[in-house]
């Protein structure tokens, strides 16, 4: 009886030890601490998660074809030249740092070499303005065959929107003898449901979801400033909420020593243009994620230079330098008191919010529109994935990763007004162009996926 008991005890002990050892080995294997190769056991490796969009691309490491995406590769710590190549798409190249026990993802977004174009409008567009939510654009058209078809239109940019691209533009106002839309200015409401349209004589609020009769709408010119102050207050409170996740030091610089600050769609990064020489403090985020990015960061800021700050890794990247005399719209943050819990603005009345209102109504419209989108600010703008930046250079539409790597030309054909705007899912770029001298400017989509 004792022999049987001892045998069971030994079996139990051996089984437990086997499970414990096997689990430990599996954990170390997964972390890259223990690998079996042709040369024997290798300790202290890291992982390269070679993924791409689309998948099925070749993965070259130091000029050697290794595998295809998506795949995970164990490598010894160090720097590697990684190329991800797929026929018909622009190649992705980067020097990647592999660190012990860390996973380095490529997240390679591949773009078509020869994207197709599709027509979005046919009757001409002028005075185009994207909405704050990025899901639609408003424009004026005066080239329709029927007079009632001339007026203001909204084009939805997302497939899940009621104003889908497949349904085409939706008219929200017809031309009126009592309201000259050709000289009108637009300001979107912060929630993108209304549009303030005004000229020298009248100011009206349009519902962005339906056709409005300009002759029946009341003139709200007497309370235009009040409405704009209410909108600015809403924008201030929303901005204050977003900025609270960033280190106080970067927000101080963004509010006092920078302009054209735009937060990424995922609210994890911000782009800004420094206006003075200043140093960005080290270790602003003590528990930041370990970085495997081989591109060097820059914390010594110089004026007229554009930077990207990544709050997850507490890293700052230099993107570009601009001419000091370049003509461009400028945007300043509203929540300059973001880290003051007792700020009087938190409970202030809407009348306290007039930062964006100028003496000239045209400048007021520019201030609001530049706040919502950099499309007319002559600077970089975020791609919807928050990992890329769109920009125009030498009359070409280009894109780069947020750290400045993998600069790619997306479109080199004709387009007007330097206008380029991404659809919310990033599958299309909206441009204005005409391919005939006799036809009006229209909206086209550069198909990226």
Topology (CATH level 3) of domain 32-109: Immunoglobulin-like (2.60.40)
Query: Minimum mean pLDDT among 157-161, 238-242, 270-274, 336-340: which range?
Result: 157-161
Tell the burial category of 377 from Cβ atoms under 10 Å away from its Cβ (0-12, 13-18, 19+): buried
Interval 41-56: pLDDT, tens: 455 789 999 999 999 9
pLDDT at 160: 54
Interval 8-41: pLDDT, tens: 555 555 455 555 544 444 455 545 454 544 544 4
Interval 235-254: pLDDT, tens: 999 999 999 999 999 999 99
Distances (CA, A) of 98 to 30, 95, 202, 293, 436: 15, 10, 62, 9, 52
pLDDT at 26: 46
Structure tokens at 163: 């104003």
Do residues 193 and 162 make contact, with C-beta atoms less than 8 angstroms apart? no
Q: pLDDT band for position 268 (50/70/90)?
A: very high
DSSP per-residue string spanning 390-410 = EEEETTEEEEEETTS---EEE
Closest listed residue to residue 269, CA positions, set 323, 237, 312, 302: 312
Q: How far apart are CA 313 and CA 300, in angstroms?
A: 17
Segments making up each domain of the chain, as ranges:
32-109, 117-240+334-447
Model confidence at 161: pLDDT above 70: no
């Amino acid at each position: 009886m004792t022999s049987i008991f001892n045998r069971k005890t030994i079996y139990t002990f051996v089984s437990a030890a086997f499970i414990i050892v096997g689990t430990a080995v599996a954990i170390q294997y997964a972390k890259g601490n223990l690998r079996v190769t042709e040369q024997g056991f290798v300790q202290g490796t890291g992982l390269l998660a070679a993924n791409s969009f689309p998948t099925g691309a070749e993965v070259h490491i130091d000029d050697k074809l290794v595998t295809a995406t998506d795949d995970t590769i164990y490598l010894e710590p160090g720097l590697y030249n990684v190329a991800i190549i797929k026929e018909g798409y622009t190649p992705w190249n980067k020097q990647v740092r592999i660190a012990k026990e860390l996973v380095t993802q490529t997240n390679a977004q591949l773009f078509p070499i020869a994207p197709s174009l599709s027509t979005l409008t046919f009757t001409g567009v002028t005075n185009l303005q994207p909405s704050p939510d990025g899901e639609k654009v408003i424009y004026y058209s005066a080239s329709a065959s029927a007079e009632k078809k001339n007026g203001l239109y909204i084009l939805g940019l997302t497939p899940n929107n009621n104003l889908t691209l497949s349904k085409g533009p939706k008219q929200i106002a017809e031309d009126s003898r009592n309201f000259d839309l050709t000289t009108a200015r637009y300001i979107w409401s912060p929630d993108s449901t209304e549009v303030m349209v005004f000229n020298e004589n009248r100011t009206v609020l349009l519902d962005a979801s339906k056709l409005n009769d300009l002759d029946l709408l009341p003139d709200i010119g007497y309370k235009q400033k009040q409405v704009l102050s209410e909108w600015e207050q809403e924008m201030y409170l929303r901005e204050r909420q977003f900025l609270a996740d960033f280190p106080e030091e970067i927000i101080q610089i963004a509010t006092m020593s920078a302009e054209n600050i735009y937060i990424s769609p995922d609210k994890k990064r911000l782009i800004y243009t420094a206006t003075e020489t200043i140093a960005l403090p080290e270790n602003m985020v003590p528990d930041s994620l370990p970085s495997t990015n081989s591109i060097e960061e820059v914390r010594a800021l110089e004026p007229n230079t554009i930077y990207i700050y990544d709050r997850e890794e507490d890293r700052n990247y230099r993107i570009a330098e601009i001419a000091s005399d370049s003509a461009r719209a400028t945007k300043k943050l509203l929540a300059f008191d973001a880290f003051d819990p007792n700020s009087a603005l938190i409970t202030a009345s809407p009348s306290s919010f007039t930062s964006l209102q100028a003496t000239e109504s045209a400048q007021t419209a520019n201030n609001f529109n530049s706040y919502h989108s950099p499309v007319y600010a002559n600077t970089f703008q975020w791609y919807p994935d928050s990992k890329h930046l769109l920009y125009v250079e030498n009359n070409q539409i280009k894109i780069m990763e947020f750290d400045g790597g993998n600069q790619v030309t997306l479109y080199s054909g004709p387009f007007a007004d330097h206008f380029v705007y991404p659809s919310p899912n990033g599958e299309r770029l909206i441009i204005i162009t005409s391919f005939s001298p006799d036809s009006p400017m229209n909206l086209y989509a550069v198909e990226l996926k």
